[in-house]
Amino acid sequence: MKTIFIDRDGCVNVRLVGNWVMNWNDFEFMPGAISGIAALKKAGYRLILVTNQRCINLGKFSEDKLDELHEQMQSSLKNEGGFFDKIYHCPHDRDENCGCRKPQPGMLLQAAKDFGDIELSQSIMLGDQESDRLASEAAGIKTFYEISEAQTIADAAKLILAP
């Protein structure tokens, strides 16, 4: 199935420099995120969120609180016609050498295993960091769109959906 992997901080929501988004009051959608996600979902894409969340292993945030935050994000997206089919997160810190923390491809590979019908070479990755691009390359994803305030998810959606 047509699948797009999307990073969270800096793509879906505004990245808090030097801090983490740990409650709904801190969560601010990036420009174009809601409309872009809705357009891709309406076009029939499976959307999978892949996000590093080392704040969990640093003891700053809990898995339950992360789930609550993601439920609120999903609710807001669904109100506009979009949502993520699945959300994967890596709770590990940078020095733990896990296989799921981007730039490692573990979350992408796990999604392909879980769904069974994802062709990674035909999938797309949207990210704002070099680690997102490296993870997508390591997983065999050939198409990467860099997301920023100047190149939003809505802009990437227009390129992806162009005839």
The alpha-helical segments, DSSP class H, found in the chain are 33-42, 63-79, 106-115, 130-138, 153-161
State in words which class domain 3-161 has.
alpha beta
7 carries an active-site annotation: yes
Which one of 9, 85, 95, 155 is the catalytic residue? Answer: 9
Per domain, the residue ranges of the chain are: 3-161
Q: Which of 7, 85, 114, 117 is catalytic?
A: 7
Token pair recorded at residue 54: 């080392």
Share of the chain above pLDDT 70, in %: 100
Does the predicted TM-score (pTM) go above 0.85?
yes
Q: Is 9 a catalytic residue?
A: yes
> What does the pLDDT look like over 14-28, one tens digit per residue?
998 878 898 899 999
Structure tokens at 154: 């809505």
